[in-house]
Structure 1
């Protein structure tokens, strides 16, 4: 079955798929809310089970979704963030086409995709987007963030593989700090739902605790769930006896936010 790809990177069609960023839509008829899904993979690959199955779960709950195929960027620093920003701007600019409310666009990421989601939610800008011959200024700020066992910091407690893939071995302290999402939180950061497992031996739970503390410091609303077990990288984990509860709690939170 062919997959619809919406190219968002502005590159020529001659570029290879792996060199380009695109969105895959999962649209629910008569749904005006949407979540953009960012799979994890340490900025080295994108985990399939954290992409389409998550979009389908959202669809089953009456929410449209897009899965972002962001570019993998060894030592390219801003490229994934540019893709996250472009994804938000594309969906917002084309909201009328998809029947989506332009102020109900959330972003959801797992692991390194959680880092990209957190960076997209804290480092945003206005971009010029042309739709049907009309150019307008569109904000790349999402309206809510869902961070699932996220990589947050590039400093202590961070995930070394993600840091090396994104920044390289020679990254300066300034670059490391600029790509640590907890350092980028402001009072304008969107509300967040965060969950993690205490026995995660890949991305330490301190990552979620740090972003939660930064959000609290800036008085940004958030909900944090820390589960006793579940390890790392389980995605929806619907059958897990402990962390499997996250999907229910997340949907309750989304509904409370107006999704």
Structure 2
């Protein structure tokens, strides 16, 4: 039997785990009939430690009977979700079938949200290290589908991150949805009471129906 499980990756700049992007997201997914769990990946460690840990969690969920694995991540958690879905070197058991990214850090080549880059790569990261951890540089025609959302007013992780990533998805013919809402700060989570931006959950729920198998 095919069964979907989604792993929730809260943000926090690779230095903390934002609570409102953890269990509340898993509860929302459960309300959609999707099995979900929160994974609190290692913090304040260098790449690839968070990715190695997440891949182990994916293998664990697959061994427990889920053969359709989706990820949903926010900010730094979105970056990690993207790495797990895109980075080379994954075993078949590590495979990610689809991912949802909320206001994600996608590029380590920009100077925006530098603190996460310093944690992951250090002060003197090489251009190759920065490139190999930038999601837009990892996309191939074989990449899984993505749902991406952001706000135009995000000053911590500017929407440029999502635009760069979506452009790479489009250039490689990867199925995706991109929604950039006019208003709202960084770290909105479910965005309840955030005006038009709150509709992201409705849009994502519709998109997920195409990718969730039970």
* TM score, norm. by length of structure 1: 0.79
Which residue is equivalent to 2:70? 106
Quote how far apart the aligned CAs of 1:256 are.
Answer: 1.9
Q: Does 1:52 align with 2:6?
A: no
Unaligned runs of 5+ in 2: none
> Larger C-alpha radius of gyration, 1 or 2?
1
Quote how far apart the aligned CAs of 1:89 are.
Answer: 1.4
Match of 2:154 among 195, 200, 207: 200
Which residue is equivalent to 1:139? 93
SS in 1 for 2:165: helix
Q: Which piece of structure 1 moves more, 106-115 or 118-127?
A: 118-127
Aligned-partner Cα distance in 2 for 1:83–1:229: 34
Which residue is equivalent to 2:56? 86
Which residue is equivalent to 1:152? 106
Note the aligned Cα RMSD (angstroms): 1.6
Unaligned runs of 5+ in 1: 1-30, 128-137
Aligned-partner Cα distance in 1 for 2:53–2:88: 12
Query: 1:26-79 CA distances to partner (integer Å, 9 max, x unpaired)?
Result: xxxxx93221100000000111110011000111111110111100134x1100
Quote how far apart the aligned CAs of 1:119 are.
Answer: 0.6
SS in 1 for 2:130: helix
Which residue is equivalent to 1:221? 175
Match of 2:14 among 43, 68, 72: 43
Q: Does 1:187 align with 2:141?
A: yes
SS in 1 for 2:177: strand
Greater fraction strand? 1
Alignment check: 8 A CA contact 2:34 2:212 kept: no
Match of 1:67 among 33, 38, 42: 38
Which residue is equivalent to 1:9? none
Query: 1:204-252 CA distances to partner (integer Å, 9 max, x unpaired)?
Result: 1000011101111111000000100111001011222121000010000
* TM score, norm. by length of structure 2: 0.94
Greater fraction helix? 2
Alignment check: 8 A CA contact 2:150 2:159 kept: yes
